[in-house]
Amino acid sequence: MNKQLVHIKGTKAGLVLRLDDQCAYAELVEELERKVLEGGIDGKVDVQLHLGNRYLLSAQQKELIAIVEGPGNMHVSKVHSDVITIEESNEKVLTDQSETYIGIIRSGQIVKTDGNIVVIGDVNPNGKIEAGGSIYVLGNLKGIAHAGVNGNKEAIVVASHFEPTHVLIDDQIEVMSNEKPFVKENADQIFAYINRDGIISYERVQEVRKIRPLLSTIKGGS
Amino acid sequence: MGVAIVITSGKGGVGKTTTTANLGTALALQGKKVCLVDTDIGLRNLDLVLGLDNRIIYDLVDVVEGRCKIHQALVKDKRVDEKLFLLPAAQTTDKNAVNPEQMKSLVDELKREYDYVLIDCPAGIEQGYKNAVAGADRAIVVTTPEISAVRDADRIIGLLEQENIEPPKLIINRIRKDLMKTGDALDINEITTHLSVDLLGIVIDSEDVISSSNKGEPIVMDPNSKASLGYRNIARRILGESVPLMSIEDNSKGMFKKFISIFSK
């Protein structure tokens, strides 16, 4: 064998194992086992697996992780691959995209989406929006808003007039009938998010850039 | 070919039946040929408000099931000659006795002969509502300045927007100017912006409406009542006239009294 199938590289964050993506899987496993055993590393170290253009089933991924973690002094922190399946890609497209709903969500109506949603119109009492991502309402939010339904704690709820009966983000529920002077006084243009303590809190929309900078998908203004 | 208008509200007791009876009469007084259809099967009362209850021979279910011809079941209102007819609901069965397809073909048949077919919808959003909406081209939503009625109106407008009909129009019924002034009742502006539909008209609450209903005589027959004026204005707007919204202030004072009140300030 004249070509190395497993490259080991040390970085600040630990070791990076770059695995060849052209050889057969069996060969790779064999080589990896050998490299791991000869290793001779002292103490615990974090390892990242870079798979390149190889797609691995989750069972195969587990097998590789088990091999690396076998001797006991290495811990796989991340598995990185340049390829994903069409299914994963479609899912990502759905959760990342923004849908636009123009109209009024009235009592008894539910609007659902996998990604973010922009509502141009009102959400009336007893009307409900459910989004996998964030909810942006250009109008009066007087109904129920549930953002991050599939466990996205980063999601936020924004409204030009923020007066909902219930706000839900992921599995957190907030019933707005409780006295909230901040929300009442600043009903125009505030947003809801899950803070570091895991509970829903409110800030002026100008603070989104500090609290959720990663929601921005575009940089500019220069 | 006429137009079929369904009059609905979601909540009960806001004045759908009274509105249907009065708008029908008002349109007939303007010279249009009008047929009122009561779809509240099992709980009919449009005939009572019109004072036609003792003249019913056949009803809507009889027509749908083919026991009689449509014109045999229609009851003529003699006060407005040859202009106003009622197709009464059945009292002995329930809403499941007819289905939306049957209602649609019935209404289509009536539209051929009448300028306006007003369909009185039962309360609720179940079978009876579906039947009533099936044949309609337009919808009028009746509400009152109460939060419960407005909430239900919102729901019903949402459902109507799913149907293949023109955007619904709103009537705010039973307006109490004293409560609206003090802010104890929702005001007209608040209701229309909340529901964001066009306002077709307002009707002021009046005791005359109750007494005239009990007499079986629609209030529009009495030109002096303020409620009557509200209904007449709405009828004119349905006919395409542009009529300014009446003020809810009481200006029934005579010229002389007004004159006095200027000096008594």
End residue of a domain, out of A80, A106, A134 = A80
Residue A179: is its pLDDT beyond 80? no
Do residue A36 and residue A75 come from a single domain? yes
Do residue A201 and residue A161 come from a single domain? yes
Residue A191 lies in a domain: yes
Which residues of chain B are within 8 Å of residue A101 when distances are taken between CB atoms?
A: none
Long-range contacts of A122-130 (CB under 8 A, 24+ apart): A122/B196, A123/A159, A123/A164, A124/B154, A124/B194, A125/A165, A125/B151, A125/B154, A126/A165, A126/B151, A126/B154, A126/B155, A127/B158, A129/A101, A129/A105
B151 SS3 class = helix
Tell me if chain B has a CB within 8 Å of the CB of A165: no
Do residue A13 and residue A123 come from a single domain? no
Do residue A135 and residue A74 come from a single domain? no
Do residue A69 and residue A101 come from a single domain? no
Tell me if chain B has a CB within 8 Å of the CB of A89: no
Q: Write out the DSSP string of A117-145.
A: EEEES-B-TT-EEEESS-EEEEEEE-SEE
Domain enclosing residue A38, as ranges? 6-80
CA–CA distances in Å: residue B97 to residues A119, A135, B127: 41, 44, 10
Q: pLDDT tens digits, chain B, 265 residues: what are they?
A: 899 999 999 999 999 999 999 999 999 999 999 999 999 999 999 999 999 999 999 999 999 999 999 999 999 999 988 899 999 999 998 899 999 999 999 999 999 999 999 999 999 999 999 999 999 999 999 999 999 999 999 999 999 999 999 999 999 999 998 888 888 889 899 999 999 999 999 999 999 999 999 999 999 999 889 899 999 999 999 999 999 988 776 655 556 665 666 666 5
Do residue A61 and residue A143 come from a single domain? no
Residue A69: is its pLDDT beyond 90? no
Q: How many domains does chain A have?
A: 2
Do residue A93 and residue A193 come from a single domain? yes
Do residue B155 and residue A122 have CB atoms under 8 angstroms apart?
no
Do residue A75 and residue A116 come from a single domain? no
Query: A49 vs A109, which has greater pLDDT?
Result: A109
End residue of a domain, out of A18, A48, A80 = A80
**pLDDT-derived band at A36, boundaries 50, 70, 90:** confident
Q: Assess contact for A146 and A131: CB atoms under 8 A.
A: yes
Residue A48 lies in a domain: yes
Residue A60 lies in a domain: yes
CATH number at residue A21: 3.30.750
Which residues of chain A are within 8 Å of residue B152 when distances are taken between CB atoms?
A: 107
Do residue A100 and residue A170 come from a single domain? yes
Mutate which of A101, A104, A141 to disrupt the B interface (most B C-beta within 10 Å)? A104
Q: Which residues contact B159 (CB under 8 A, 6 or more apart)?
A: A108, B125, B129
Residue A58 lies in a domain: yes
Which residues of chain B are within 8 Å of residue A108 when distances are taken between CB atoms?
A: 155, 158-159
Residue A221 lies in a domain: no
The encoded tokens of residue A47 equal 């390892």
Residue A72 lies in a domain: yes
CATH number at residue A137: 2.160.20.70
Which residues of chain B are within 8 Å of residue A103 when distances are taken between CB atoms?
A: 161
The encoded tokens of residue B39 equal 């779809």
pLDDT at B237: 96
Do residue A142 and residue A67 come from a single domain? no
Q: Could you tell me the pTM of the whole model?
A: 0.78
Query: A103 vs A182, which has greater pLDDT?
Result: A103
pLDDT at A2: 58
Residue A142 lies in a domain: yes
Do residue A136 and residue A187 come from a single domain? yes
Do residue A32 and residue A15 come from a single domain? yes
CA-nearest residue of chain A to B125? A108
pLDDT at A210: 92
End residue of a domain, out of A80, A99, A132 = A80
The domains found in chain B, sorted by start residue, are: 3-263 (3.40.50.300)
Residue A220 lies in a domain: no
Q: Tell me which residue in A103, A109, A124 faces B194 most closely, judged by beta carbons.
A: A124
Q: Is B14 annotated as a binding residue?
A: yes
